[in-house]
Structure 1
């Protein structure tokens, strides 16, 4: 049975390994030992922010998935809150076992608990399988997203 918990600093090597374990991730992550300091700084910021949660999915003690959820208040929607899901990955050895679905279902439940009126995410247009996956879970392509690398 899959369980979920807040990630700890000790989980970072496994998390970074999962983030780096695909065609796009390999181009932007650094799965090295020791981990680059930037990951430790980012984790410390996430851990200190009550509106950010880095969640790991576990089978027993084994980490098999990860996602980050950010809760943001907006003036729009009458001052409503949104949840944004980012960095969703399942361990390569456990793909196809429904863990990704359980991660997203958990995030939706968590967003409702936090009083969010909407949950959103983005996926790279090159990730066609991911786009179909999110649509199967009820997400709709409603906006055109724009990004700028700095």
Structure 2
């Protein structure tokens, strides 16, 4: 191989690296734009939940993991993301007269794939609130429930009116 051939290959290699560097910079810029858009959508959703007093949650039936949006924490009288939620912790906030009803409604929902319910909770400060909940059951390919997705809204003031 001659010196000219080696120099030409190095030049092509260098140019390929420069081109790849520009492509990566463009990709990073696109990711930054998408991240900024996602953050804005998240901020907008959070504001909408605060205004409407509607929160969303998800419960993985297989693992037991429960996630609440910040607004669900507020509805239940807690600081957002103050602790990790469990189904048992949730049930402990449901008014004692309505726990069995709610557990039964959830069992029935696993067959129906969707349900809604109204029930009372008792917040840590002792205040009773009335909630409306819509729940959708998510199934795997074998139609076995694996997750519950839901929204919860504090309807206390509407009920009082």
Greater fraction helix:
2
Greater Rg, structure 1 or structure 2? 2
Please indicate the TM-score interval, normalised by the length of the shorter structure: under 0.3
